[in-house]
Amino acid sequence: MIKSPKKYSVFSLVKNAFSYHENWQPAWKNPEIKKEYEAIIVGGGGHGLTTAFYLAKNHGVKNIAVVEKGWIGGGNTGRNTTIIRSNYLWDQSAAIYDHALKLWEGMSQELNYNVMFSQRGVMNVAHNLHDVRELKRRWHANRLNGVDCEWLDTKEVKKFCPVINTSPNIRYPVMGATLQRRAGTARHDAVAWGYARGADSMGVDIIQNCEVTGININNGNVTGIETTRGTINSKKIGVVSAGHSSVIAKMAGIKLPLESRPLQALVSEPVKPVIDTVVMSNTIHAYVSQSDKGELVIGAGTDGYNSYSQRGGFNIVEDTIMAIVELFPLFSRMKMLRHWGGIVDICPDASPIISKTHINGLYFNCGWGTGGFKATPGSGWVFAHTIANDQPHALNAPFSINRFSSGELVDEHGAAAVAH
């Protein structure tokens, strides 16, 4: 029998306060590994957990395991700068990202878990004539696709975000910006934990500290996985392992069009509220928002070479900070407190792969690169559909692995605000 977890509410908070918060139940179990599952999800990041959650919730799959080599949300899900938006250029991308954005809007209620989704708006800033044209093109494309988007001129940018430097004399002056008001941020750890708790309550086994080391295939059909904790059988395996996707694909003899690279972020000392939106700039590559704790959350670029070391080069951080300080001179004396990297799986067209493979029962969801956090619920939604029906959902059909043979790429590089 599935035992639903205690519902979180203001009453449970008060009740637990009386026992000094020492009697909260674990949010998910630590189950024994079964011999066989109906479906196994490899990778316990946000995308893997949402896949399991929607497999159980939307498709009634009962016996599911999520197998994670480290801990839940220890990958890019817990390392990103949490920017959520759907203002992508191409129809296929706008459709899948906006579907995700709609799920974000109801997520805390759906999960009974506060993911601190905050629709504070995302501004994409233009610094030259080319930027202005590109961003205006995207603004119009978004409106045609029913994605909310506005154009702000320099004065309106200053009004929306007073601390930004709109002097015409800086090296890359602010010449306007697009604004998506429905966009914003969320608390990334809470997303992983909330979906883990939700999946667990529907009977999904969340297995941590268990690395997948092999994929068993018999006559073109997948039969299970080898792990550091033994063999687990299943006829359906969905791989959602971000930076390590190529390594796992190789276990099944599949080559993917991915490059794994470090992407870095950093946060400052906490200060009083100073910036109540998200500001992004492609041209000078900087993006910044402020967390509820008061830290500035700053994202850098990817390193120019492949690496799995989860650390990037210092020069990348330096470039980002230069850009931030030019756009926000008042941040120039702030101290940075923490800094880290994640390994992102980059596709040649900067779009994801959510696809069947030529091996029956083996599915891949990868290539989200530098910008998949925003897609977390939507990615799981369509991937669960793909696994349950052995058919892509209409929203992920364009993101099949076959597009690299057919040439039907969804080229979002540069088209949609490069990063995130």
Residue 300: CB minimum distance to other proteins, A: 13
Amino acid at 4: S
- Which is closer to ligand FAD, CB of 164 or CB of 278? 278
CB contact at 8 A, 80 and 188 = yes
Does the footprint of ligand FAD cover residue 275 (CB under 6 A)?
Answer: no
Cα dist from 32 to 6, 43, 118, 213, 310, whole Å: 22, 18, 37, 19, 30
Cα separation, 160 vs 154, whole angstroms: 10
240 is in the binding site of which of other proteins, ligand FAD, none (Cβ under 5 to 8 A by kind)? ligand FAD
Does the footprint of ligand FAD cover residue 420 (CB under 6 A)?
Answer: yes
Of 62-70, 125-133, 168-176, 384-392, the window that binds ligand FAD (rule: CB under 6 A) is 62-70
Among 99, 244, 356, 385, which residue interacts with ligand FAD (rule: CB under 6 A)?
244
Cα separation, 57 vs 377, whole angstroms: 13
Cα separation, 192 vs 196, whole angstroms: 6
Residue 289: CB minimum distance to ligand FAD, A: 9
Residue with tokens 């009453």: 11
Residue with tokens 């959602």: 240
Does the footprint of ligand FAD cover residue 241 (CB under 6 A)?
Answer: yes
Cα separation, 84 vs 191, whole angstroms: 12
- Which is closer to ligand FAD, CB of 342 or CB of 398? 342
Does the footprint of ligand FAD cover residue 371 (CB under 6 A)?
Answer: yes
Q: Where are the alpha helices (DSSP H) in 260-415?
A: 314-327, 376-389, 403-406
Sign of the alpha-carbon torsion through 132, 138, 144, 146 = negative
Residue with tokens 């529907």: 202
DSSP one-letter code for 207: E
405 is in the binding site of which of ligand FAD, other proteins, none (Cβ under 5 to 8 A by kind)? other proteins
Which residues inside 209-248 make contact with other proteins, applying CB under 8 A? 211-213, 228, 241, 244, 246-248
- Which is closer to other proteins, CB of 197 or CB of 403? 403
344 is in the binding site of which of other proteins, ligand FAD, none (Cβ under 5 to 8 A by kind)? ligand FAD
Cα separation, 98 vs 370, whole angstroms: 17
φ, ψ for residue 31 (rounded to 5)? -75, 160
DSSP one-letter code for 118: B
Does the footprint of ligand FAD cover residue 79 (CB under 6 A)?
Answer: yes
361 is in the binding site of which of ligand FAD, other proteins, none (Cβ under 5 to 8 A by kind)? none
Of 14-22, 80-88, 267-275, 331-339, the window that binds ligand FAD (rule: CB under 6 A) is 80-88
408 alpha carbon, distance to own chain's centre: 24
Tokens of 367: 């290539």
Which residues inside 246-305 make contact with other proteins, applying CB under 8 A? 246-248, 250-251, 255-260, 304-305
Give the interface size with ligand FAD as a residue count (CB under 6 A): 40
Residue 177: CB minimum distance to ligand FAD, A: 17
What does the binding site for ligand FAD look like in residue numbers (CB under 6 A)?
42-48, 67-70, 74-77, 79-83, 211-212, 240-242, 244, 248, 263-265, 299, 342, 344, 368, 370-374, 420
